[in-house]
Structure 1
């Protein structure tokens, strides 16, 4: 029985790696590759305009380019939109560099410089990328025109709510190589695909998300990034956005008020800057607000940018 079970496991692993080769040929990168620190980083740009919006993904998002597609399509009609897939995400390579906030922001800046896209940029972070955007804006304020958070995680939030950062056991890095990520998405794809209305994402887009999840799910860089969160928060918890930098926060409308009266909305109010365009917009929906509110968010960002320019 044990021999049979081991045979099944080996066959599945072989099948997974054969399928990976087939899928990589079937689904080539939709953007282009640039060299950053001896590895290839996948970048995608769309649209033209006076403003460059840099979309930054949440922790573990299989392919940021595919995940942000509806928002990219909406915002690229009036702006240049850039998505840089960090190492370990989408079509980008893996890296041996530690997933510290300094390295992640350094790689982002290097990619933007190599693209020859001049700043200052509108950084648009989702979830954990709020930490990286805080570091970027604090350390390199001349390169950032504004920050737009999509249910963004900001460093001071953990202390505010007395929460501890998540962690992930090291063995999780073997989930993808062993074909377990493929097995999981084969059994129940709903947990790994955008929760959006039919037609929001094309069938090809969803097929590619499934494939990349099988290739990259819980890889070593995602595990490292998760386990580095505590230190990254400590490094940035004392930071704040420059007082004259405009910020817009998209927040979930169904946020619960805690017993001590604290809520995400009241916390975000403490993170607003003195710039008159800075504001919070509450939206009802999932943590991935761009799955269901891409058009509404695009319109709000356009208004936000116009407000900034009217005051300059």
Structure 2
């Protein structure tokens, strides 16, 4: 009896570990095979450019032949910026040149080892635009955390930025008051890396807002889902989160930019400082603000209204 009891105490945990290893290992190998196939089946729709001596590549998507260029900059953790912004930029691309820059670790861009301090991130964005054939001046459309990069850009290179039209963007004032960091989970990261996330029902539909809100066609959803499975909480996203405090501090050391900072603000954000900081920032730069009955992915809730009002803001900023 003692031997049987001893075997149970030792053997069962070993068998359990072996079983888990088999399941996780099998899922990982299948996941890697699927990633390889998906990359071949759905190549980047835009331009892939090499941005540094390490051979790191970023994806720049553009459409429209307008003389004024709009740059769409994604929020933190958005797996596929090209499809996230589509509902909005499709309403503007008939009259403007629209460009979506996918940062390192997002969309079709590489996961890189480059530092995520704001100077590196901004220079990668500017380099990618230049190498893909785009040229300033620009009107920037940053969502969420990209607000910091847009503000920094306008301060360092004022001739390149005609205006900022923020989509519920982050400002250094807000971060310095709240020190609120992006939500990240080691468990979710593990599920994504091992491919176990693929087995969760409706995980893509429930966690990719453009899909959840019905803005993608069946074919677009199929492609965006493949991007989702390889761009959930990437290494670069984790590093962005770790640099958020330093990046906010860097931006806060500058004065408010000379370019007008217009903002569309979500009414659903329960943090009282959010709208206060955005309205104050806009007013100090002679920008306009609009509080909309929408969530944080405001460009998905109110694309028609934002496009309509943005046209007026773009024309005012670029009339000279």
- The normalised TM-score by structure 1 is 0.89
- Cα shift at 1:169: 6.8
Q: Which moved more, 1:222-231 or 1:98-107?
A: 222-231
Query: Which aligned pairs between 1:191-230 and structure 2 lie closer than 5 A?
Result: 191-194=206-209, 200-230=215-245
The reply to whether residue 163 of structure 1 matches residue 173 of structure 2 is no
The reply to whether residue 279 of structure 1 matches residue 295 of structure 2 is no
The separation in 2 between residues aligned to 1:309 and 1:102, in whole angstroms, is 26
1:267/1:116 CA distance change after superposition, 3 Å: same
The separation in 1 between residues aligned to 2:77 and 2:271, in whole angstroms, is 27
Larger fraction in helix: 2
Deviations 1:14-56 (A, max 9, x none): 2211211221222111112111112121111010112100000
- Cα shift at 1:239: 2.6
- Cα shift at 1:222: 0.9
Alpha carbons 2:61, 2:100 under 8 Å: kept: yes
Deviations 1:66-110 (A, max 9, x none): 111111211111100001111111111111111110000000111
Match of 1:308?
A: 317
The separation in 2 between residues aligned to 1:171 and 1:201, in whole angstroms, is 28
The partner residue of 2:276 within 260, 266, 283 is: 266
Alpha carbons 2:148, 2:251 under 8 Å: kept: yes
1:239/1:182 CA distance change after superposition, 3 Å: farther
The separation in 1 between residues aligned to 2:211 and 2:225, in whole angstroms, is 15
Larger Rg: 1 or 2?
Answer: 2
Segments of structure 2 that go 5 or more residues without pairing to the other structure are 1-14
The partner residue of 1:70 within 76, 79, 87 is: 87
Match of 2:195?
A: 179
Note the aligned Cα RMSD (angstroms): 2.3
- The normalised TM-score by structure 2 is 0.87
Match of 1:249?
A: 263
Counterpart of 2:192 in 1: which secondary structure? coil
